[in-house]
Amino acid sequence: MKKTVNILEKIPNYVFWDLDMNKLNIQEDYDVIISRILMFSDLSNITENLLFLENIYTKEIIKKVAISSTERISDEICSVTSKRYNISIKSKFNKYVHL
């Protein structure tokens, strides 16, 4: 962990819509925080969001969570994240539904 910050100053509260923000601990709940930020990122803000995460967490923690997350992170965000950290991330979201 790098430092303590109020994540709601930077991340909209809808990212954590189902959680009690008063109980969210930036150190203990790092996996939820990183996964959700990645899940709600898009190509217009992913670089900024990754820089924000890097100011809070080590790159090793971010990589670990990005690889193991079960959140529905888009393929585009997985691709950007995998290139940035030189890791392989399996697709977490199938954009196409076959009927």
19: left (phi over 0), alpha (psi -120 to 50) or beta: beta
Flag whether 9 is in a domain: no
For residue 32, is it within any domain? yes
Domain contains 11:
no
Q: What is the mean pLDDT of residues 18-41?
A: 90
Q: How confident is the model at residue 25 (pLDDT cuts 50, 70, 90)?
A: confident
Written as six digits, the tokens of 98 are 């076959």
Q: Model-level pTM?
A: 0.84
- ∠98-38-99 over CA atoms, to 5°? 5
How many domains does one find in the chain?
Answer: 1
Q: Residue 74's domain spans which residues?
A: 26-93
* More confident site: 25 or 87: 87
Task: Choose among 28, 35, 10: nearest CA to 89.
Answer: 35
Q: Specify if 36 maps to a domain.
A: yes
- Does residue 18 lie within any of the structural domains? no
